[in-house]
Amino acid sequence: MDLKNYTNEYEESNSEEEMLWKLLYPKTAQTTFFLEIFNATLSSFGCVGNIFIMVIISQWKNLSSGAAFMASLALADLQSIVFDGFVYELFPLSGFNLTLINRWLCAILNYVSNLTTSVSIWVTALFSVDKCLAVLFPFKYKELGKPKICIIATIFANIFLAIVLSPALFVFDLNVEKNECSVSNFEFVSRFFYFKIRMPITIAAISILPISVVLICTVTTLFKLRLNMRKRRNQRESSQANVSARDRLDKEITRQMLAVCILFCVLKVSGSVIYKLNYGSEMNTVYEQAVFNLRDKINSILTTMLNGCNLFLYLIFGRKFRADFKRLFWKSENE
């Protein structure tokens, strides 16, 4: 298909429903457009941030599984941002929507977008498990906490999520009359199964379960760290300098875990609520369609923040990471 002709067709063939809600609710339409611009900009910063994370960690020596999970999470976040921020936000703003080229791209791109976002969520959960095990079993962790653990766990997470999200390949279809890519094909998967059975399973798999894992592991890690700090204070024979250094390190890890846990849970809970409100019921009025689009853009921003904020958390709460980040620019300026 000729790109110029496709772009012209896209600009001239907006659905009547979309034009109607934009005309009836102009303020909502303006807000939605502003959120699209903001999300595309946020995605750009998120991409750069995740690249920086991978570059910094690649310079570390003797990587543990925890460091490998940091790099794996950055890669998963980068992939998610590329699809959610660029394919679904930036490209349509420029007048080109890949999901509207044909039904196959419509289904595949939606499937891959959901998969990359879900993988990012689960890598975060696995990273919290890794840090929890490192605190609970420090000696065993030094022996077994290798990067291959991260690789194996990430592969299993990808396979599991690919199976759970596979119905999207069959229900997403291109509606030529409405000029949109949406859940509209129930030839192979019934409407009842998709909305009443698949929906709760998906919410549990990509929201409830990983959030629970992060919460449990983080609370356990914090509790164990505090116990360790108390024990070290009571050890009079230890060097005071060593105790202070270890205390500072424990506090640094505690702050990092608190920040990651709170932000992850707040964004994921908010996103899950919006997702349930949007896709748990059908749109029957123009007003419902306007609200749907507004909620969808807000949810996209929450997802982008979830995938693009780790660099700032590492810089704020991680002394070593902050030093390596500064050193990266210092070396660049002196080369």
Question: Residue 77: CA atoms inside 13 Å, Cβ hemisphere, count?
Answer: 32
Cα separation values, 202 from 16, 82, 276, Å: 31, 22, 11
Residue 226 belongs to some domain of the structure: yes
Is residue 37 assigned to a domain?
yes
| Residues in the chain, total | 335
Inter-residue contact 308 to 48 (CB < 8 Å):
no
Give the Cα separation of 285 and 308 in Å (integer): 35
Full DSSP string of 208-248: IHHHHHHHHHHHHHHHHHHHHHHHHHH-TTS-HHHHHHHHH
Task: Classify residue 317: in a domain, yes or no.
Answer: yes
Tell me whether residue 217 is in a domain: yes
10, part of any domain: no
Which residue type sits at 250? D
Task: Provide the whole-model pTM.
Answer: 0.78
Alpha carbons within 13 A on the beta-carbon side of 259: 16
The answer to the question of residue 329 being in a domain is no
Digit-by-digit pLDDT tens for the chain (335 residues) are 333 333 334 333 344 555 666 666 677 778 888 888 888 888 888 899 999 989 988 887 777 777 888 889 899 999 888 887 777 777 777 777 777 777 888 888 888 888 998 899 899 899 888 888 888 887 787 777 788 888 899 999 999 999 989 888 888 887 766 667 778 788 888 888 888 888 888 888 888 898 899 889 888 887 887 787 777 665 544 444 444 444 454 456 556 666 777 788 888 888 878 877 877 666 667 777 777 888 888 888 888 888 888 888 888 887 878 888 888 877 554 54
CA distances from 156 to 22, 144, 163, 198, 199 (A): 43, 18, 11, 20, 22
* CATH number of the domain to which 278 belongs: 1.20.1070.10
- Nearest 10 degrees: CA dihedral of 194, 196, 198, 199? 100
Q: What total number of domains does the chain contain?
A: 1
Q: Has residue 6 been placed in a domain?
A: no
Q: Which domain holds residue 315?
A: 15-324
296 domain residue, yes or no: yes
